[in-house]
Chains A and B, each alone.
Chain A
Amino acid sequence: METLFSLLIGVFFASAVYLMLSKHTVRILLGIAILGNGVNLLLFTAGRLTREIPPIIPFDSDVLPSAAANPLPQALILTAIVISFSFFAFLLVLTYRGYQELGTDNTDEMRLAEPKDESLPPLGY
């Protein structure tokens, strides 16, 4: 089971990396969204997979039955989902505003901070 998931996660990462290698900010954005999912699945699988039984302690017990899923990766992923979503939202607005201001979504043409033919800095003292 974990083997198959490892392969699936490999596909997630490969797709994300391929999209992020694009010159277009929108594609990079899609890549980042997929990367978030890939990382979450990686964490999830690394904590071992258990079918269907959520980590909730029954009424009549004080401890979780050993058949339940591992709660720790779930707690970590829950945090990660929210963070990656806010990160995604920020990048989305940045892309949008970047396009509005610069008139392009091609990262090669975004040279405002690092112009192509920058002159030498002053050589005096």
Chain B
Amino acid sequence: MADQAPLTLLCLFLPFLTALLAPAAVRRFGHGGSWGLALAPLLAFLHFLTFLPQISAGEVVTGGYAWVPSLNLSFSWFLDGLSLTFALLITGIGTLIVLYSGGYMKGHPQQGRFLCFILLFMGAMLGLVVSDSFLMLFVYWELTSITSFLLIGFDHEREAARRSALQALVVTGLGGLSLLAGLIFLWNMTGVTQLSLLVNVDDTLRNSPFYLAALLLLLGGAFTKSAQFPFHFWLPNAMEAPTPVSAYLHSATMVKAGVYLLMRLNPVMGATPAWEILLPFFGGVTLIAGTLLAIRQTDLKLMLAYTTMASLGLLVMLTGFDTPHAVEAAVLYLVAHSLFKGALFMVAGLVDHEAGTRDVTKLGGLRGDMPITFAAALLAALSMGGLPLFLGFLAKEEIYYALAHGDLRSIVFTLVAIVGNGLMFAIAFAVALKPFLGPHVETPKHAHEGPPLMWIGPALLASLGLVGGVLSGVAHRFVSTPMASAVAGEPRLVEISTIPHLGMPLLLSVITVAFGVLVYLRLDQARDMMVRLLTAIGSGPDRGFDHVVSGLVRLSVAVTRIVQPGRLEIYITVTFVLLALTLLVPSFLYGELPDMPTWPDELYFHEWAIILLAVIGLFAVLRASDRLTAIVSLGIQGFAVAVIFLLFGAADLAFTQFMVETLSVVILALVMTRLRLSPRDHRPPRQFAFDAAISIACGLGFTLLLMKTTQLPFNLELTEFFNTYSKVIAHGANVVNVILVDFRGTDTLGEIAVVMITGLAVLALIRVRLRDPLPDTNVETTAEGDRS
């Protein structure tokens, strides 16, 4: 369907275009403007929905436009089950998030900017998942990091927000560079620059000697983005962002980009020992670490943030597991997670918005005040806990199908999954039940149900978890099966339904739920235990980040102090030492020294005299004991130079030189005699010897350079051109003048401009007067300017 290409392109850019309108829309319509802004992601969502029949039939849709044809770069997209599901999640949840932000940020002075950032992020994320070419993937990948930075640091007047934003940018940005290197490896190994073609590459990648290097680099990108241990620390800190951001970026979409990348690469890079060791290991560690850290928290958002990290760990673990059903389990869990976690985050924000706190120990009994929110929270938690009828249940059944195989490795990871899922079950219900059940607790604000703008999102997402579970056949046909096939690289059929079958997976589910209920009932003890454990462990990578940043500042200060000590003398010394080395070392190294010259016997007496005069002038300047002598001696060498010009056929130069030297001497005498300066330049002997050595080396360097130059044949081409055409073309007899005003007229114009600017600068320097070194120049300038 080639006719759809322009429309798809429009949909890919629609979020960016709408982002530009967001500030104006909010200024004009207030928070209600978000109804209009939500139309953009909605339209994109509907457009991507039209691809469903095609994709579920096993086709892929590609399209694009040439970007830089000479470099074989194209702006092209690639839709299969994997990218289409992601695109639908991004635009669908994005629509709800835009609405939710309208209510959440109501009355915030920067609401327009916030919506603008959200829409920018949406565009970047959408581009990331549909990108076909590697370069586009990388560009969008980095764009999501940048927009994430803007959103986390949205409340930029708080230092904690700035720190978290920077941390997220540094971690994911470094990961992005690692990804770029990995993609370049892929390109070099396969010669392919498009993901759609990469799928066709068979075992060349796996057998390549660079496979491990490429894999590690790509994992560097994926693990930082998806907050895998030990790069997980930025994700909980990112909760500094307003809640819509946490719901959208840091649970439903952006953090899944790493998982997306792994799933995308699974058909060509998976099923190797490295893949099957690294992914499950880091995923399993992240799962356990995330859930344990989540138990400790009392802040609703932080509890959810750590379970998000745990869920990402679970997804990575499953992606690396090469057993039947592992891919299906990952796919189902990914979709289910996006729905229930997005809903729960929005619930947390809603509770915070209405009750004024999101500390779970200070909340209770809100069910009567916020019934819709409670219902949404409950539905989401049921899915997250993996109870029958819900999408989460299907995912969990598939997980246990995939893991339970009897060998040691499977048993270990099954245990990991049971512990992780059980703890997540406990936290899900802690978030969904604790604020709503029990006796009513007095909250900072009197809670009542939020506006429709805010509950529409969580209610819809949470219900979808139920609908997807009940109508599993439809969900599998259009979403799970095509996506699982894309991830596996071969046709897969997802069949699991919500009717429980007796067997190992169900038993494991029951154990998980029982463990979860137990932890939920004893949550306070579990929390105390974790607090004690973590205090015993001490500081983690989060503190390390602070040390790195402040260490970087200290290092750069130290380097700056060495390179720029603030003494002019050192700068000049370094400059001239390097100059001498540049002049002398290569001529000695490469044998470019001049031939031994013969004694100059062709000079006349008066020429000798004038050279001698110049040398005497120079020595007089060096030895002068008072400034007047120095100034007059300066004049001597200057006039000697003028006479040299005169003797060697440069009359124009001589006259200019005479004039300039006279002026210099007069001005110097006028200015310098007004200053009370120490008459002599005392340098200690060591300093004198050092300075003299540098000077002599520089002088020698120039002498040798010039000798060598004049010994070589001279190219007269340019000179002959001027000599021939000065009169014929430019109608001037004085060739020097013709060159200046005619052939090189623009050059002379530039020279005049330089002189003029210098004149202005001199004028400004004379008129600006600072009575006090404190730089309050503007006021002083005008005051003094009027007087003088």
Binding site for B on A (CB under 8 A): 1-15, 17-24, 26-30, 33-34, 37-38, 40-42, 44-59, 61-64, 68-72, 74-75, 77-79, 81-83, 85-90, 92-94, 96-97, 99, 101-102, 105, 107-108, 110-116, 120-121, 123-125
Contacts and interface: CB of A to CB of B under 8 A. Distances in A.
A114 B564 contact: yes
A17 B698 contact: yes
Contacts of B706: 2, 5-6, 9-10, 42, 45-46
Contact of A37 (B641, B709, B765): B641
A44 B648 contact: yes
B681 interface: yes
Contacts of B759: 86
B604 to A, nearest CB: 9
A97 B758 contact: no
A58 to B, nearest CB: 8
Given A24-B678, A34-B637, 6 more contacts: A13-B702, A42-B702, A48-B714, A64-B726, A92-B667, A114-B564
Contacts of B569: 21, 23, 107-108
A86 to B, nearest CB: 4
Nearest to B691: A21
Contacts of A56: 733-735
Nearest to A95: B671
A102 B653 CA distance: 38
B158 to A, nearest CB: 10
Contacts of A41: 641, 644
B739 interface: yes
A72 B751 contact: no
B550 A123 contact: yes
Interface pairs A-B: 10 shortest CB-CB: A14-B699, A114-B566, A69-B649, A10-B703, A18-B695, A64-B723, A71-B735, A2-B710, A10-B699, A75-B739
Contacts of A93: 671, 762, 765-766
A42 B707 CA distance: 10
B545 to A, nearest CB: 10
A25 to B, nearest CB: 9
Contacts of B648: 44, 49-52, 69
Contacts of A89: 667, 758, 762
Interface in B69-95: none
Contacts of B564: 114
Interface in B629-682: 630, 634, 637-638, 641, 644-645, 647-653, 656-657, 660, 663-664, 667-668, 671-672, 674-675, 677-678, 681
A108 B568 CA distance: 7
B722 interface: yes
Contacts of A34: 618, 621, 634, 637
Interface stretch (B23-31, B159-167, B393-401): B159-167
B61 interface: no
Contacts of B734: 55-57
Contacts of A4: 600, 603, 611
Nearest to B599: A3
Contacts of A107: 567-569
Contacts of A121: 553, 557
A105 B773 contact: no
A78 B572 contact: no
Contact of B618 (A12, A29, A77, A110): A12
B554 A78 contact: no
Interface in B132-180: 159, 162-163, 166
B163 A57 contact: no
Interface stretch (B223-231, B248-256, B490-498, B740-748): B740-748
A74 B653 contact: yes
A110 to B, nearest CB: 7
Contact of A54 (B553, B650, B674): B650
Contacts of A46: 706, 709-710
A28 B550 CA distance: 40
B735 A64 contact: yes
B288 interface: no
B573 interface: yes
Nearest to A107: B568
A17 B694 CA distance: 8
A79 B475 CA distance: 81
Contact of A10 (B621, B667, B700): B700
A115 B603 CA distance: 54
Contact of A8 (B166, B611, B674): B611
A76 B525 CA distance: 87
Nearest to B761: A90
Contacts of B755: 82-83, 86
B628 to A, nearest CB: 12
A62 B728 contact: yes
B119 interface: no
Given A18-B692, A48-B710, A37 B638 contact: yes
B652 A24 contact: no
Nearest to B760: A90
B770 to A, nearest CB: 6
Contact of A111 (B566, B630, B726): B566
B699 A21 contact: no
27 contacts: A5-B706, A6-B707, A10-B702, A12-B699, A13-B695, A17-B695, A18-B695, A21-B694, A23-B568, A28-B572, A51-B647, A52-B648, A55-B723, A55-B735, A57-B727, A69-B649, A70-B719, A71-B722, A71-B736, A75-B736, A83-B755, A85-B660, A85-B664, A105-B677, A107-B569, A108-B568, A121-B553
Contacts of A52: 647-649
Nearest to A106: B678
Given A10-B702, A13-B702, A75-B739, A37 B637 contact: yes
B587 to A, nearest CB: 13
Contact of B621 (A19, A61, A97, A124): A19
Contacts of A49: 648
B649 A54 contact: yes
Nearest to A65: B723
A123 B692 CA distance: 44
A3 B707 contact: yes
A19 B620 CA distance: 12
Contacts of B597: 3
B534 interface: no
B718 interface: yes
B222 to A, nearest CB: 27
A121 B724 CA distance: 63
A123 B553 contact: yes
A75 B598 CA distance: 31
> Could you say which of A41, A62, A89, A101 has the most chain B C-beta atoms within 10 Å of its C-beta?
A89
A26 B674 CA distance: 12
A97 B627 contact: no
Contacts of A2: 706-707, 710
A40 B642 CA distance: 11
Contacts of B651: 54
A21 B573 contact: yes
Contacts of B739: 71-72, 75
B722 A69 contact: no
A64 B727 CA distance: 9
B602 interface: yes
Contacts of B185: none
B754 interface: yes
A101 B773 contact: yes
B698 A86 contact: no
B735 A57 contact: yes
B568 to A, nearest CB: 4
B615 interface: yes
B735 A79 contact: no
Contact of B740 (A13, A79, A113): A79
Contact of A7 (B696, B703, B765): B703
